[in-house]
Structure 1
Amino acid sequence: MAIKTEDYIKYLTEKVVHYMDTPVEVRKEQRSLTKSAREPWLVRWFGLVPLSVLLWWNRRRQKKEHPHP
């Protein structure tokens, strides 16, 4: 479903006007709250890699303990 150009321009204009109407202090506070709620970059970038290595290692160890006949 495509957005009409006029609707998109209206949406962008509303966003810009809302941004310009909010005081600088409120914008800074919202930005700091968003940053504090976000996970650290190390977890965001490498969060699944340690988990996948752990799963692989456990599966490898289980195969050594219970070899198939």
Structure 2
Amino acid sequence: MSGNDYIKFLTEQFVSYMDLPPEEKKKRRVEGNERPSISNRWFGVLPFAFKSIRKKAE
């Protein structure tokens, strides 16, 4: 992707976001702030890695 294409993409995304009503913007921000599961918050990626290894062994 060239620099001009990237700038065009960013501009389109920005304009489409600015055209949204304030309620929709707030809804998107709230959805984006959901917390990860407790195991991921406390131990990072390790629980996920152990689960996937256990699944492969079965």
For Structure 1 versus Structure 2, the TM-score category normalised by the shorter chain is: 0.5 to 0.7
**TM-score, normalising length: structure 2:** 0.57
The aligned residue for residue 7 of structure 2 is 9
SS in 1 for 2:26: helix
Aligned partner of 1:43 in structure 2 is 40
> Out of 10, 20, 23, which is 2:21 matched to?
23
Distance 2:42 2:6 in 1: 32
Alignment RMSD, CA only?
2.7
Equivalent position of 2:32 in the other structure? 34
Identify the structure with bigger relative contact order (alpha carbons < 8 Å, sequence gap 6+): 2
Structure 2 residue runs of 5 or longer lacking an equivalent are 51-58
Q: 1:42 to 1:11 in 2, by over 3 A?
A: same
Which consecutive segments of 4 or more residues in structure 1 shift more than 6 A? none
